[in-house]
Amino acid sequence: MRAVRRKSGHAISEFAAALIVLVTFVFAPLINVGIVPIRYLMAQGVLTELCHRVVLSERRSEAISLFTNELWSKSVLQKCGVEVSNAKIGLTVLGKDNSKLSIVGAEPIPSEWLPGGSMEASVFSLEISVDCAIAPLFQTSPGLPGFTSPVVMKLKASSPWENFGIDPVSQEYFVNE
């Protein structure tokens, strides 16, 4: 007597191929794209923490020195797949009449913008900006940014300068030293 072949289970051999296609062309790209926003949030958090730590310095020159010699944040971001370049630090001063003065690096603040000056400056904000290349989980050479190659973006963080004291030795504001 000859055994009759049953039809149940005939699609099981096609299931493996369909599963491979599903994982390769649907799940892997979704995971790859899903990593970029997570890395972006990590980079923004590290930059915000760095800005807050730098602004707690007594003098602005110390803040700039701390920022330029800072290695922890770059190494953490590099381990997370974020390449940092073109790091800049500056100070933005807002006057009472909504006028704005931007100072890059260690450039001194004009005396009319200091506390008690003619511009009646009320807000001093230290700003940090960096260019970041945020990589997806899997990369290939001819890449589509965000899917198979890094996304390049400029990140910024700012924190208010809080030390408006005067140095007893030099009689200069700490924010201007």
What are the extents of the domains in the chain? 12-176
Distance between CA atoms of residues 152 and 146, nearest Å: 9
Distance between CA atoms of residues 93 and 76, nearest Å: 31
pLDDT, one tens digit per residue, over 57-107 is 999 899 999 999 988 888 999 999 999 999 999 999 988 888 898 999 888
pTM above 0.85, yes or no: no
Flag the least confident range among 30-39, 44-53, 129-138, 165-174. Answer: 165-174
Distance between CA atoms of residues 138 and 147, nearest Å: 8
14: enclosing H helix or E strand: helix 12-22
Name the token pair of 148.
Answer: 């198979």
Any idea what the Cα angle at residue 57 is, between residues 64 and 44, rounded to 5°? 70
Distance between CA atoms of residues 59 and 177, nearest Å: 6
pLDDT, position 92: 92
Binned at pLDDT 50, 70 and 90, residue 122 comes out as confident
